[in-house]
Structure 1
Amino acid sequence: MMKGVHFLVTLALLALATSLASAYDPSPLQDFCVAINNTNSAVGFNVTLVNVDKLPGLNTLGISLARLDFAPYGLNPPHTHPRGTEILVVVEGTLYVGFVTSNPNKLFTKVLNKGDVFVFPIGLIHFQFNIGKTNTLAFAGFSSQNPGVITIANAVFGSTPPINPDVLIKAFQVDKNVIDYLQKQF
C-alpha cells in the first residue's frame, strides 16, 4: 500500500515538474505579412505575392500565395501562370472570373461571392474582375513555389524590344494606328 502511495506522489510531482518546465513565454518573433491595399493602378488592382523569392522557406515545398486587392470595378487582366495551377478564394466582395481553354478556345466563367472558390488550370489565360461597388479581397494559392505570371497585354504590347507592328496588325486584324496606340499604353 505504501509503495502505491509513494508511486502516486512521485508521479504527481513528475507531472507538476514537467508542466512547470514547459511553461514559458512565447517567442517574441512573429511571422507576419502586412499587405498594402494599393489599388490605385490603372486597372484598380494590386497583388501582394508570397513566393520563394520573398519567403525562402517555401523552397522545394511547391506552393506560394498571393493576396489580391480590387478597387470597385478593378481588374486583374488576362494572364497566365506557366508553372502553377491557381486556386482562388474570395474573402470579401464579388468577382467575375474566367479562363479560356485551348483547341477549341472555350471560355468558362463564374461570379464568385464571399467564401466561393475557383480553380484556374496551369498555363491557361484567366482573369478576375470586381463587378461590385465595394472593394474585394481574395487570396490565391499556387501549386508552385514560383508560378510565374505573363500578363497578356503587357507581353504583346509592352515587350522590349517591341514586337514588329506589322506582326500585330496582321494578328489582330486592326489598323496600324490602333497598334501604335496600344503599344504606347504599355
Structure 2
Amino acid sequence: MSYCKAILSMEGSRRELHKRYHDLYYGFPIADDNELFTRLILEINQAGLSWETILKKEDTFRAAYAGFNIAAVAAFTEVDRARLMADPGIIRNRLKINAAIENAKTILTLQKEYGSFQQWLALQHPKPKAEWVRLFKKTFKFTGGEIVGEFLMSIGFLAGAHDADCPIYQAIAAQKPAWMEGDNSHE
C-alpha cells in the first residue's frame, strides 16, 4: 500500500503527523543543503525503525544535531558524540551518529568541489536507483538501498513518493522535480 493510501487508514494525531509530512515535505524538491542533509540523516536514522518514530523525534533531532547545520555537525567532537549517545530524544545508535558526523564532513567536501550538495546531486542525475545506491555507498556512510531510495524520493530525485491520483502529486509536478526530467523512477 502506498504512503498516500496508508495515511487514509490512520486516525487522530498519528494521521496528522504523517499527513503533515506527506502534504508538505515528502517528494518536494529541496535546494537548501542543510535541509537535504536533514532528510539524509533522518532517513539513515529510520533504518530498522518506523518512519513514525522519526517524525515524532524530528524536533529533538534538530536540537541535538545543531539544527542540521552541516558545518556545525562536521565539527562535532567526541564530547558531542557522547552527548548524542546519551540523548533519549534521538536514536542512540553509534553507527548512525558517526554516519551523521562523517556525512556532514563529506558534504562539506562536495560543497567545496561542486558549489553545493544539491548541485552534486543534480550533476549525478539521471541515474537508475541501483547506480544511485552504488554512488551513495561509495560516497557516504550508512547508506543502503532503502535509505538511498527513500532519500531520493523524498527530495524529488526519484519518482514514487506519491500516487498519480494523489493531489500532492500535482503540486510536486508543478515544481518540476528532477525525476520528471528522466525516466529513472523504478529501474
When normalised by structure 1's length, the TM-score is 0.26
Larger strand proportion of the pair:
1
Determine which structure has greater relative contact order: mean sequence separation of CA pairs < 8 Å that are 6+ residues apart, divided by chain length.
2
When normalised by structure 2's length, the TM-score is 0.26
